Chain A
Amino acid sequence: MKQYSDLEYLRLSKGQRFLYKLMAFFMAIPRAIGHFFLNIGVYIKKAAQGVANECKDIVTTFTQGDWKTKTSFVIMGFGNLARGQILRGLLFLLFEVVFIFYMVFTGGYWMSMLPSLGKVGPTSEYNAVLDTYVTAYNDNSFKILLYGVLTIFFIVAFIYTWRVNVEQNKLAEQALRSGKKLKSDKDDLRSMVDEQFYKTLLALPMTGILVFTVMPIVFMVLVAFTNYDGAHNGFSNNLFSWVGLDNFNTLLSWTGGNGGGQSYSATFGEILTWTLIWAFLATFTNYFLGMFVAMMINKKGIRLKKMWRTVLVMTVAIPQFISLLYVSKMFARNGLINLSLLDLGLIKQPLPFWEDPTWARVSVIIINIWVGIPYLMLITTGILMNIPADLYESARIDGANAWQQYRKITLPYMLFITGPYLLTSFTGNMNNFNVIYLLTGGAPTNPAASGAAGSVGYTDLLITWLFKITTGAESQYYLASVVGIMVFVVVAFISLVVYNVLPSIKNEEDYQ
């Protein structure tokens, strides 16, 4: 690819610049990967150095510290307490006590079971007197993995806190040595609503995210390396265990294994292609048609603006499971649409909205327009009104017609402002479970791709496929997990590309 100098680059048109950047991004990938591997040594060295420095610092703190500091190495918060920072000291101490209790009473057990994920499955014994089988449940792989992960989180948090505790002693000693006063409890409390206010504000939301988003994701990523499925549910039938990269092999290998005689990788490829096509069409049809509707309503001289808007906005308000389920039934073979067309004699055969692959795909895209336009109409209305009117005025004086005005002013302005929105909307559509699940449930069935992993349809997105794998006949959680990781990789890659190519995303400070 030809490298442009700055001057040459500036001479390019917008479209050419875009293409240039796109090309440049892809051309840079091999070099970036190469760079990464070449530098692995450097990274490791840096990391090792970092750890070494920390250790050295800890050791010097210990050797040079007074007895208060030294005691704090074992009894956390002792230094704070001894130096009059009661609140901090108590918090450290409390954390340590809780940690030790937890590790002794449960944490140790979970950690020791983590490598095997459990040893004894449930057993069943016949009680001849009562003529009944009695079940005894033993190890629970699921809980071991769950609490094992939690325990690791807890240990990491403990090590970090311990390090902070050591650091604080060092800083306190330094401060006292140079004759400064330490912060009192009152200062600490005050700073919690002032300089450190952000920590107070973030504490609750971040705890929630850590426990209910991060931890489950870590867990599910780990599941991809186990054989957790309906036949190994880890508790009531068989325990599950680590299987290494087997599941990735299953998904990525090009030979059979899926029932329809088609490999998982081919099925994955087919669904991914449709997912991308869907996301692209769903995003841009909505975008342009929504903008078009907004422009019509905003046009000078159009009356009842508020009424038009209200009518459209109602669809945003009504829960999708009602509207989409209803619409799905309307378009069914014996639904309202087909029956009335038949009655009017406009068609002789019912239209195969949900039966023919192409029809079904077009139908979901069109119905998605019905869902999406009102929202886009709202978004674009606000931005359209913000475009400075004098831009249009001067364009009109220059003799530009409506189409030219749209191309030269409206569209560039809109694209610039809504660039980030388009990206999130694209990835959102890739994972648009509701529309597909409620409208078609993935139908019609794709014979080639269906089989042992459940029935796969022509309108299935990766996300609905994932749902089917999880809840299907075999409940292959491990496979769902692998697919989920692949979805992540795809979405992350697309975001990375767009992030590098679109100008308006990069610098958030521009808006402030």
Chain B
Amino acid sequence: MKKFLAILMALAMVLSMGTFASASSELAGEYDVTIWAPDAAVALTTSQVEAFNANNEFGITINATVEPVSEADAATNMITDVSAGGDLYFFAQDQLSRLIQAGALTKLGQGAAAFVKDNNSAGSTLAAQSGSDYYAYPLTADNGYFMYYDKSVIPEEDIDSLEKLVADCEAAGKNFSFELENAWYNAGFFFGVGCHSDWITDNDGNFISIDDDFNSEKGLIAAKGLYSIVSSPCYVNSSNTDFASGSAVVVTGTWNYATILEQLGDNFGVADLPSFTVDGQEYHIGSYSGCKLLGVKPQEDAVKGAALNQLAQYLTGQECQTQRAADPDQGGLGWGPSNKAALEDPACSNPALVALSEQNAYAIPQPNIHGSWWDIAKVITTDIKASDGSDEALMAALQKYDDSIAAVFEMTDEVRNAFTVIGTVAGTNWDADLPMTADGDVWTSNEAFEMEAGTEFKCRQGKAWDVAYPADNFVVDAAGTYYVQLDAASGEVSLVPAE
């Protein structure tokens, strides 16, 4: 028996030494991996995985199946069925929260998080973050928009002024394509006047609250700027490559560079966004700068998970990002890098990327945004377009926006102002708000509760603790069935025995 134990212990020691000695050699092996990449990037990704297989120091061999799945659809596809989704997938950063919430992204370990932080630009690092944790690897930092224009219509000196651009388009009978009925684009006007809109998330990807000032004096200036373009007959709500169909200016991003260059030929022009003028003051239109990210699906097998993280780090490292940044005719994709070393590489710049970096001076790194915000915020433009442009109408549009985002947390004014009973009442344990109804300042609980002596509770407003009475918990003296009553004016809480 003793002998047996000794052998067992020796064995355990050998095993544990092995684990600590070299984590890397444990990763050696073959892995079947599905990678989702946008159609255009499939071929390049396949060859990059081959390069990884040939060169990695861990002895990892990846048998990759690369499927064309657009980075815009990644979340929708992953949410269909996480267990059947791609192991590694490209996605646009605005889907980060949805994906974390769906359990489709693995949290990065300390080493991986350090890799992301050390190697990527600040904005792209932020995009991979929820709370203080990292959930993805930045692939690009080029998801922004700027302006392409037709030099035969727009004179060089007009490109800095929105009003002049609109006038030029109107005079030439040409269109101005700017997809302002899309929150990603119209937010640029608000950022241009110094507004902000930040969603606050916890570490699990849940949204806690929003810090937003679109509905303000500054916001009104932005709304006026928006009105000046959407009210023009030349305005077209589009970010397609519209030059062939009558546009002289198109606001879009790097992904349309090749097509537009082909369409315009010698008349190709590209620049950062213009400024708009309200009450004699100029405001440069801002923008979102966003990223594409590479996500790793949660794995049940730790070794495969670690191998996937190694592959992800290679695919988002300097070498691969530089390859992607090359022009399409040189086998690249023209994607602007997020990697700091790749950013400084002169091989990574074409006119579009230059315009993007100029615009980036005015851009807000796109944070984590609640999925429904896009639907709510795009309506601002729709409302402004339908309005007469008066201050009242513009303010009404902003007010409606404000109400709508408040409703995301189901905080209608009614709910925000209502008092509720919370405590060890009616079988609950400080986890449920029991409704009350107001009669003037006096609030009474909707039902009578059977309460033991010693039951504790408070009445709080808007399901939050900012306003709650009494200051210390109310303690019931004698058992009985009571209605809870609160005088909101004095903050006095009392029990009313039920009949």
Binding site for B on A (CB under 8 A): 122, 124, 126-137, 230-231, 233, 235-237, 255-261, 333-335, 339, 342, 348-350, 355, 444-445, 447, 450-455, 471-475
B110 at the interface (CB under 8 A from A): yes
Which of B238, B374, B400 contacts A473, CB < 8 Å?
B374
Which of A133, A136, A235, A451 contacts B109, CB < 8 Å?
A133
In the complex, the chain B residue whose C-beta lies closest to that of A456 is B375
B245 at the interface (CB under 8 A from A): yes
Assess the A124–B242 pair: CB atoms within 8 A: no
Q: What class of interface size applies to chain B in its complex with A?
A: 35 or more
Assess the A236–B372 pair: CB atoms within 8 A: no
Decide: A135 near B300, CB < 8 A? Known: A233-B82, A255-B414, A471-B76: yes
Assess the A133–B79 pair: CB atoms within 8 A: no
B282 at the interface (CB under 8 A from A): no
Which of B82, B112, B383, B414 contacts A235, CB < 8 Å?
B82
B198 at the interface (CB under 8 A from A): no
Assess the B302–A132 pair: CB atoms within 8 A: yes
Which of A131, A258, A444, A445 contacts B407, CB < 8 Å?
A258
Contacts of A135 in B (CB 8 A): 103, 106, 298-300
Decide: A334 near B372, CB < 8 A? Known: A131-B109, A133-B107, A258-B407: no
Assess the B103–A122 pair: CB atoms within 8 A: yes
Assess the B300–A233 pair: CB atoms within 8 A: no
Residues in B62-118 with C-beta less than 8 Å from chain A: 76, 79, 82-83, 98, 101-104, 106-107, 109-112
In the complex, the chain A residue whose C-beta lies closest to that of B206 is A231
Decide: A334 near B175, CB < 8 A? Known: A130-B302, A130-B305: yes
In the complex, the chain A residue whose C-beta lies closest to that of B175 is A334
Q: Please report the C-alpha to C-alpha distance between residue A452 and residue B109 in the assembled complex, in whole angstroms.
A: 33
Q: Please report the C-alpha to C-alpha distance between residue A128 and residue B109 in the assembled complex, in whole angstroms.
A: 8
Q: Please report the C-alpha to C-alpha distance between residue A248 and residue B271 in the assembled complex, in whole angstroms.
A: 52
In the complex, the chain A residue whose C-beta lies closest to that of B19 is A129
Binding site for A on B (CB under 8 A): 19-20, 23, 26-27, 76, 79, 82-83, 98, 101-104, 106-107, 109-112, 175, 181, 233, 236-238, 240, 242, 245-247, 298-303, 305-306, 309, 370-372, 374-376, 378-379, 382-383, 400, 403-405, 407-408, 410, 412, 414
Q: Please report the C-alpha to C-alpha distance between residue A258 and residue B404 in the assembled complex, in whole angstroms.
A: 8
In the complex, the chain B residue whose C-beta lies closest to that of A238 is B103
Q: A129-B19, A130-B302, A259-B375 are in contact. List 6 more A-B contacts (CB 8 A).
A: A124-B298, A131-B309, A132-B309, A235-B82, A235-B83, A450-B379
Contacts of A350 in B (CB 8 A): 236
Assess the B82–A236 pair: CB atoms within 8 A: yes
Which of B98, B298, B378 contacts A445, CB < 8 Å?
B378
Q: Please report the C-alpha to C-alpha distance between residue A472 and residue B75 in the assembled complex, in whole angstroms.
A: 10
Assess the B376–A237 pair: CB atoms within 8 A: no
14 pairs of residues in contact across A and B, judged by CB atoms under 8 Å:
A122-B298, A127-B302, A130-B23, A230-B79, A230-B102, A231-B101, A235-B103, A256-B412, A261-B407, A333-B237, A334-B240, A350-B236, A451-B375, A473-B375
In the complex, the chain B residue whose C-beta lies closest to that of A127 is B302
**Cβ distance B210 to chain A, nearest Cβ, rounded Å:** 12
Assess the A236–B298 pair: CB atoms within 8 A: yes
**Cβ distance B343 to chain A, nearest Cβ, rounded Å:** 26
Q: Please report the C-alpha to C-alpha distance between residue A233 and residue B80 in the assembled complex, in whole angstroms.
A: 10
In the complex, the chain A residue whose C-beta lies closest to that of B109 is A131
In the complex, the chain B residue whose C-beta lies closest to that of A333 is B236
Decide: A132 near B306, CB < 8 A? Known: A237-B101, A256-B412, A451-B407: yes
Contacts of B19 in A (CB 8 A): 129
Contacts of B376 in A (CB 8 A): 259-260, 450-452
Which of A127, A231, A447 contacts B379, CB < 8 Å?
A447
Contacts of B405 in A (CB 8 A): 259
Contacts of B370 in A (CB 8 A): 473
Contacts of A233 in B (CB 8 A): 79, 82, 102-103
Contacts of A450 in B (CB 8 A): 375-376, 379
Assess the A261–B400 pair: CB atoms within 8 A: yes
In the complex, the chain A residue whose C-beta lies closest to that of B300 is A135
Q: Please report the C-alpha to C-alpha distance between residue A348 and residue B234 in the assembled complex, in whole angstroms.
A: 11
Assess the A134–B404 pair: CB atoms within 8 A: no
Decide: A473 near B371, CB < 8 A? Known: A135-B300, A230-B102, A260-B400: yes
Assess the B245–A260 pair: CB atoms within 8 A: no
Q: Please report the C-alpha to C-alpha distance between residue A334 and residue B407 in the assembled complex, in whole angstroms.
A: 36
Contacts of A134 in B (CB 8 A): 299-302, 305
Which of B101, B246, B306 has the most A CB atoms < 10 Å from its CB? B101
Assess the A455–B378 pair: CB atoms within 8 A: yes
Q: Which 9 A-B pairs have the closest CB atoms?
A: A473-B371, A236-B103, A131-B109, A237-B103, A334-B245, A135-B298, A130-B306, A447-B379, A236-B82
In the complex, the chain B residue whose C-beta lies closest to that of A125 is B302
**Cβ distance A139 to chain B, nearest Cβ, rounded Å:** 14
Assess the B379–A260 pair: CB atoms within 8 A: yes
Contacts of A256 in B (CB 8 A): 407, 412, 414
Decide: A131 near B111, CB < 8 A? Known: A137-B300, A257-B407: yes
Q: Please report the C-alpha to C-alpha distance between residue A124 and residue B112 in the assembled complex, in whole angstroms.
A: 17
Contacts of A231 in B (CB 8 A): 101-102
Decide: A451 near B305, CB < 8 A? Known: A129-B23, A130-B26: no
Assess the B378–A255 pair: CB atoms within 8 A: no
